[in-house]
Amino acid sequence: MIMKKETYLILAILVLCVLDVQAQNYNKIMGKAVKKAIGIDLKGYKVFSYPTNNFGLITSYENSAIDDNFLCDMWNCIGVSDPAEGTNNWLDLNNFAGVGQGGSINLSESKKKKVAVKVILPKIYDVVGVNGGFDKNRTTNINITIGTAYLRKLRRDPIIEYINSLDNTKSIKRAYDNGSLVLAVADCVIEDLSVTVKVDDSTAIGLDTKLGITGSSLASKVFQDATLSVKVEKITNGTYSFRVSHPVIFARLLKKQPSAGTLGANEDFSDWSIVPSINDPSEPN
């Protein structure tokens, strides 16, 4: 029994090490490409381990960026429960965000395949709920398209006005009054992410089942979890398209307010201290 426990522990450590290496490779590859697309360094930004449609600009914590201190996420922080995804309004967060458009994100074919195989497809398969998950040995062809990069920065005056309008029962207002508010004051967004794959018969059967397809009929369906929404479409027998058509968050910059009851004096939040992001809601446990 002791040997079994030790074996399980070793296996768990190895899995975590592999996941960490994959995340580092993804961060390195995508970080360089995004930096080139938007033309600035992302020093201090936390790169998510996979793209997510939540937890970007305005996401708030108390004192430090850990799950236990999480206050609210992006739209929820400004009192919006059902935002319209895929619109300009989504991108500028009801005018709370200043948005700068960069260029398209260009990767070599080998790097695109590596990003798809190591990070994006495993996450998409997890959202879709395909039994057994993504297996590159069952995939004969992969094509990935990554769209435009945007840099968003929080507009100081609108967020001050909004927070001051809240009553003291709101957690974000209490943290602000206590001087413990941690805010995502900037983030980097990628617009449009799609992957087309050709898979073996076994995987195709699983995908067809999830899509409710019988025979050769074509269909599409939207799947989502707390962090990502994916449209899956069958193109031909064994070939499928996965598309995240709304913008997704690639990285964010978290900072803590300089003192109680104020968001500082500088428009760019340069008088705030950068807060390290630990255990992001988008990170795998």
- 3-state secondary structure string across 138-194: HEEEEEEEEEEEEEEEECHHHHHHHHHHCCCCCHHHHHHHHCCEEEEEEEEEEEEEE
Q: Are 251 and 46 in contact (CB under 8 A)?
A: yes
DSSP codes, 248-281:
EEEEEEEEE-SSTT---S-TT-TTSEE--B-S-T
* Full pLDDT tens readout for the chain, 285 residues: 444 444 434 433 333 333 344 445 677 888 888 888 888 888 889 888 888 888 999 999 999 999 999 999 999 999 998 776 655 688 899 999 999 999 888 888 888 888 888 888 988 988 888 877 888 888 889 998 888 999 999 999 999 999 999 999 999 999 999 999 999 999 999 988 899 999 998 888 888 888 888 767 778 889 888 788 899 999 988 999 999 877 889 999 999 999 998 888 888 888 898 887 554 444 433
Q: Shortest CA distance to 160 belongs to which of 181, 131, 146?
A: 181
DSSP 116: I
In a domain, 18, yes or no: yes
In a domain, 281, yes or no: no
d(CA 30, CA 43): 14
Positive or negative, the Cα torsion across 204, 205, 210, 214?
positive
Q: Are 223 and 217 in contact (CB under 8 A)?
A: no
In a domain, 280, yes or no: no
In a domain, 283, yes or no: no
In a domain, 170, yes or no: yes
In a domain, 205, yes or no: yes
**Structural domains counted in the chain:** 1
For 216, the domain range is 2-274
In a domain, 282, yes or no: no
In a domain, 100, yes or no: yes
Neighbours of 182 (CB within 10 A): 25
pTM of the model: 0.79
